[in-house]
Structures are given as structure tokens and as C-alpha cells.
Chains A and B, each alone.
Chain A
Amino acid sequence: MTESQESNSGATPLLEARGLTKDYGDTRALDSLDLAIAPGEVYCLLGPNGAGKTTTINLFLGFVAPSAGQALVSGLDVSTHDRESKRRLAYIPEQVMLYRNLSGIENLEYFAALGGQGSLGRKRLIEILGEAGLDAEAAGRRVSTYSKGMRQKVGIAIAIAKEADALLLDEPTSGLDPTASSEFSALVERLRNRGVAVLMATHDLFRAKDTGTRVGIMHYGRLVTELSTAEIGHADLERIYLEHVSDNGGRR
């Protein structure tokens, strides 16, 4: 357990799911999820496609309404406090999509303004982009020239600029090369150290063990096990994962 985690283990969770359930017709996409992520904690949701990871993130974002239960952000029920809860959240999807005709600075300025930060000055915007790993020259260029890794950095910059309590990451390192992936993890680490609660859905067991403080394995919409990354090695995680996501394991 890290120092930050220890210091925050008793704090009010910034992200919390209480019996969170989502049905799409007859299909249960998420089944009574209970989850609490404290400040400075990075919770990695693992699981195969269709396990319910993205549904969980969508429920925290208020993009879909729960069939039962609650999703809370900083204690606010997302269903009844849509805007206030989103103000406290930052979100980075698998593919950070930006406006191709705008520069990195302009994209950041736009998303930051919509996120409630008003008009940040150009200097501050360049600083934030620099903090996310994008140099000033690249920041001034149109996004149409960016690689995926550069777009992800702008996504991180948007999250930094928002100064959110919690960060939702949906497969953020998918498709990134190892260097970019490692840089991304370092940025998440920095946010975590600032007390941000992070929920990251990922297929990347290595990154989950490396970046996360806790790991939850989901299968068929259910959280089948929860582990502290401090207590397991990479090999253990892989073994446990495979045990739980086999059909027998998942339906136990």
C-alpha cells in the first residue's frame, strides 16, 4: 500500500457504486456493483469485452441511467446531480478524439472552458500541455497532424486543467506504444499523488498491476474479485484473472 493510499483509506470515497445495476432489455450488463474509490486511489477494472467495464464508466458519466442502485461522485448521485457530478469528473476514453481543425491549445482551451475553468490564458494552457508531455511547438499545431499518443496527452491535459476530484479512464493505453504507455502511466501517477481518485477500465494486466492500487475483475457484469496490487505479483494477477474470466469462473 502506498503512502497516499494509506493516508486516504479512511476518506470519503470520490467514486462510489452502490448496488449499481444496468439492464439492456433482458440482458444484464452490470449486476449490483459495489465499489468505493478513495482520494489518491487508482482502481483498475479488468475483464473481457462485455464484462461491464465501459457500462460502469458510462453510469458514472451519467450517459446511461441505472436500472437499480446509485453511482456517486464526491457523494453526489449522478442521476440527480448530472451537471455537478460531471464538474467533479474528468474522462479520458480509449481514443481521445479532438477537433482536427483546432490546435492542441485550442482544443484544451475549449474543453477546459466547458469543464468550468473559464478562459485559461495561453501561457497556462501551454504549461498544462507541457505537464502532459506535449511541447509548445506541437501544442500550437492543428490536431489533424497528431499521433494517437499526442492526442492522449491532450486528453490528460484536459483532465489536469479540469482539476477534477476523480478521473475515469476507458482503455486509455490501448494502441499506445510502450513508451507512450509508460508516459501515460506516469501522468496518472502524478494525478493520483494529487489526491485524484482514478477508475481505469483496461485489458492491460501489466499496466493495471503497475499503475493501480486496487484491481477488480469483472465478468458477465459482475465484480467477481477485488485485489490489492501491493499484495500480488504480475504472474499472480494473470493467473487469478484467467481463473475468474473462464466461463466456469465467471458464473460461479
Chain B
Amino acid sequence: MIHHIVRKEFTDMIRDGRFRWSAILVGSLLLVSLAHGWVQARKASQELTAAQATAREHWETQGEKNPHSAAHYGVYAFKPRLALSFVDEGVDPFTGTSVWLEAHRQNDFLLRPAQDATAAQRIGALTAAQVLQHLVPLLIILLTFGAFAGERERGTLRQLLATGVGWRELALGKALGASGALALLLVPAAVTGAAALVVANPGPTASPLARGAVLAGAYLAYFVVFLALSLAVSARARSSRTALVFLLAVWVVNGLVAPRVAVDLSKRVYATPSAFEFARTVEREMADGVEDIAPPDRDESTERLLAEYGVERVEDLPINAVGVYLQESEEFSNRIFDRNYGALWDAFRRQGILQEALAAAAPSIAVRTLSMGLAGTDVEQHRHFAETAETYRRDLMRQMNGDMTENSLTGDFTYAVGAELWESVPPLEYEAPPLGWVLGNRILSLAVLGAWLAGAVLLASAQVRRAEVA
């Protein structure tokens, strides 16, 4: 019997001009945003590859110089884009994509498109994730707010129920019928997305299709939440107008109000310093040290080396004491960076956890977090790359200072090396975290979305059971 209901609902919907136009609009926006995202991602990926090659060439052809000078010369590291970033660009426009790795400093990321964009450009940059998170739920509401309330108003509900069909069968049939109509626009989008994934540069991850499958599952669960909520409200509302107004209010709170409140609240609860305050704190601690992290003392360092090598003059040391001191300075600054950046990342992590918990009030927060995570564009994966880049920077500095220490003597200011050393430094090879790592980080969002799914289905089931004919 259910297949008759499904078929009727599907036919009725696709013949409805309102559905056709709204589906064409949302479907077009989805396909355009996917295509635009893919083109942008591909372009950014090509630019990144070119910039990476140029940066590497600059490093290798910097000419002969002291290794510590080379450490100051530095090298750029570029955050590679994951294959799915064309679906959801997440925090990338705000966090930046490149960082300059140099001696003594852990620099901020550069190239933040959001910084350069005008407000109009930011609004205009509609991503596939935004369409999926905001417009598809709106379409679901428009398709289903009258599922029961409209039938009740028109009088068809009495005739339907008089046939002996049960409420549950009716609800399931309506849900599947609406899903079928939605599939007309979502399936082509999913196929386009999958094709784009296959032909796209997979980026630094081994599992783009697995990530894509989980992403599709998360969005599917999100849509079912809206479908079930819409049916529940329609079953209980006195009129289709009441159902529509209520559901639109839910949509506004879910998509516009709750995410904003969640971000503001998390910032208030786990405050982070401004960029200026942060830089000033790091600068002050670098100058004076802090608590048990004292800046290295050059005289003490020299005395220790003299004692270690059993000589009385620095000229008699078999190594360059300046190189040792420079590395000690690096280690000191690293501890200051770890202390400050560690606290900052922890604050971001706590903010993120609070936001994920607040998804209990709005499923859009959960699906947005999952979407960014699976696309590789969330704060955690930015941190993963930033820490990889920082580790690379520290290794690079250690290698430069080590070469100076081992191959020159104290006071030898003419020591210089060339391409052989620069080329011996391996380029930064970034391996993005695996799917399990991403899901492990997003366990709260998964749980909250799962709870929304179960809750919405149970609510729909209960409301449909209690629904009245007239």
C-alpha cells in the first residue's frame, strides 16, 4: 500500500509548479555552487602547486650563505586543499593557506580570502555546503508543511483515512514520496560531486571517497531530521499556515540564529586574546621569559661547552658555540610558542566542543561541523597542518643550526654553504589526517546529529499517532 502513497505523493509534487520552480532554483544553485567550488578549488590547487614549486626553487637557489642566514631567509609552506574542500570551504577563508617558516618565529598564516573580500563578495560566495545546510531544508519545509495540515484543510485527509489507510503508512509514504522528489535534485548533485571527486586532485588524503560517503550520510541524516520535523508539525498544526510559520521559525533559528549564538557564546565562555594582544604577549615572553622558561644565557652556554670539551678558550672548541646558542634560543622560543599557541588552540578546541554541544539546540551546527571536518576545512585540520608546518620549521632550524655548529668554528663568520645543504632539506610533505581521526574529533557532532535524527523520527511518529482528522 505504501508504494501507492509514495507514487501519488511523488507525482503530485513533481506536477506542482511551486515544487518545480523551487527545485529548479535550489538544484541550480547546488550544481552551480558545486561547479564554482570545484573550479575555485582546482585553481587554488594549481596556484598552490606552482607557489610551492617557486618557494622550493627559491630555497634551493638562494645561493651560498651561512646556514643560520638561510634559516632567516626561510621558506613558505602552503596548506594543500583536500579534494572535498570544493563542497565546504569551512574556515579556510579566515585561517589562511600559507605560512612563512623562518628562524625564531612562528608566524601567522597568510592569504586569507575573507580578509580581502568585500561584504558583498562574502554574501555572494554561496557554497554547496550553504545550499545543503540552508536551502535544501527550506525546500523540504515548503514541500511537506502541508503534508497533513493541507490535506486536513482541503478535506482529502478524511477521505484518505476513510479508506482504512493508517496514519503511520500515510506518514511513511509521504516521507518517501517527498524524498523521491528531493532525490530528483539531490541525486544529480551527488553524482556530480562524486564525479568531481574522482577527477579532482585527491589532495593529501587517501580516502576522499570514504569522506564523501560519510559526508553524504551526514547530510542525508540532516535532511531526514527536517523531513520528520516538518511532518510532525504538519500532523499537529491546526492549519497549514500555522505549520509553515512555525517551521519557518525553526528554519531561521536553526540556520541563522543558533549558529551565531553558539559562536558568540563559545567566545564569551572561552575567551581568546585578540591577534594584537597575542602577539604582544609572545613578544614580551620572548624578551623576558616566563616562570620556568628562561631565555638562554650566552655566557652560561659557552661555559658549559668549554667544560664539556675540556678546553679553556672558545677558539679551541671543535664546534661553533654560536650555533649551539642559536639552537638553544630556538628551543627557548619554541617553548614560548608551545605555551602560547597551545593555550590558544586549547581555547579554540573548547569553543568548538561547546559549539558542538549547542547543536542540541540546532542540528545545523552539528552538520556544519561534520561537513567542515569531512571536507578537511575545520579548525582542527588547520591546526593539524599548522603543527606539521611548525614541526617542519623546527626541524629545518635544527638542521641549519646543526650544520653551522658542526661544520664551522666559533668566530668564523665567513662560513657559508650552498645548494647541497639546501637540497638536502626535504620539502614539506603533508599527510592529512585519516577519516577515523576526523570522526574521532567529531564524535560529539555525530552523537548530537544521531540524537536529532532519532528524536525527530520519534516525534514525528508520536505526533502522527496523536493527529486528528479535523
Contact = CB atoms under 8 A, between A and B. Distances in A.
B164 interface: yes
A95 interface: yes
Contacts of A96: 159
Nearest to B170: A114
B203 to A, nearest CB: 46
A140 interface: no
Given A93-B155, A97-B156, A102 B162 contact: no
Contacts of B8: 99, 102, 106, 110
A232 B428 CA distance: 103
A206 interface: no
B160 interface: yes
A119 B4 CA distance: 9
B12 A91 contact: no
A110 B1 CA distance: 10
A114 B156 CA distance: 13
Given A83-B166, A162-B163, A113 B1 contact: yes
A97 B8 CA distance: 15
Contacts of A113: 1, 4
B5 interface: yes
A243 B350 CA distance: 80
A63 B469 contact: yes
Chain B interface, >50% SS class: helix
Contacts of A111: 159-160, 163
Interface string A54-97: 00001001011000000000000000001110110111010111
Contacts of B159: 91, 93, 96-97, 111, 155, 158
A50 interface: no
Given A63-B158, A83-B164, A101-B11, A114 B1 contact: yes
Contacts of B206: none
Contacts of A115: 163-164
A114 B164 contact: yes
Contacts of B11: 101-102, 106
Contacts of A82: 164
Contact of B16 (A95, A98, A101): A101
A63 B12 contact: no
B154 A97 contact: yes
Interface centre among A89, A96, A106, A111 (most CB of B within 10 A): A111
Interface residues of B, number: 22
Contacts of B1: 113-114
B458 to A, nearest CB: 23
Nearest to B154: A97
Interface in B116-163: 154-156, 158-163
Given A87-B164, A89-B162, A97 B155 contact: yes
Contacts of B164: 82-84, 86-87, 114-116
A125 to B, nearest CB: 13
A88 B50 CA distance: 76
Given A102-B11, A113-B4, A91 B156 contact: no
B191 interface: no
B162 A86 contact: yes
Given A91-B158, A95-B155, A110-B4, A101 B15 contact: yes
A83 B169 CA distance: 12
A99 B12 contact: yes
Nearest to B155: A97
Nearest to B7: A110
B470 interface: yes
A106 B7 CA distance: 11
A128 B48 CA distance: 70
B165 interface: yes
A96 B16 CA distance: 21
Contacts of B162: 61, 86, 89-91, 168
A83 B8 CA distance: 21
Given A106-B11, A114-B4, A63 B156 contact: no
A63 B161 contact: yes
Most buried by A among B8, B11, B163, B469: B163
A83 B165 CA distance: 7
Contacts of A90: 162
A13 to B, nearest CB: 20
Contacts of B470: 63
Contact of B5 (A86, A102, A106, A114): A114
Nearest to B14: A101
A97 B470 CA distance: 14
Contacts of A116: 163-164
A98 B162 CA distance: 14
Contacts of A102: 8, 11-12, 15
B156 A99 contact: yes
Contacts of A158: 159
B163 A114 contact: yes
Most buried by A among B1, B4, B469: B4
A204 to B, nearest CB: 20
A114 B164 CA distance: 7
Interface string B1-41: 10011001001100110000000000000000000000000
Nearest to B17: A101
User: Which residue among B159, B160, B165, B166 has the maximum number of chain A CB atoms within 10 Å of its CB?
Assistant: B159
Interface string B281-309: 00000000000000000000000000000
Nearest to A110: B8
Contacts of B156: 97-99
A111 B1 CA distance: 11
A155 B155 CA distance: 13
Contact of B163 (A86, A101, A155): A86
Interface in B175-189: none
A116 B469 CA distance: 20
Top 5 nearest A-B pairs by Cβ distance? A86-B164, A97-B155, A91-B162, A101-B15, A113-B4
Given A63-B470, A106-B8, 19 more contacts: A84-B164, A86-B162, A86-B164, A87-B164, A91-B158, A93-B159, A97-B154, A97-B155, A97-B156, A99-B12, A101-B15, A102-B11, A114-B1, A114-B4, A115-B163, A115-B164, A116-B163, A116-B164, A155-B159
30 contacts: A61-B161, A61-B162, A63-B470, A64-B469, A83-B164, A83-B166, A86-B162, A91-B158, A91-B159, A91-B162, A96-B159, A97-B156, A99-B8, A99-B156, A101-B11, A101-B12, A101-B16, A102-B8, A102-B11, A102-B12, A106-B8, A106-B11, A110-B4, A111-B163, A114-B1, A114-B4, A114-B165, A115-B164, A116-B164, A158-B159
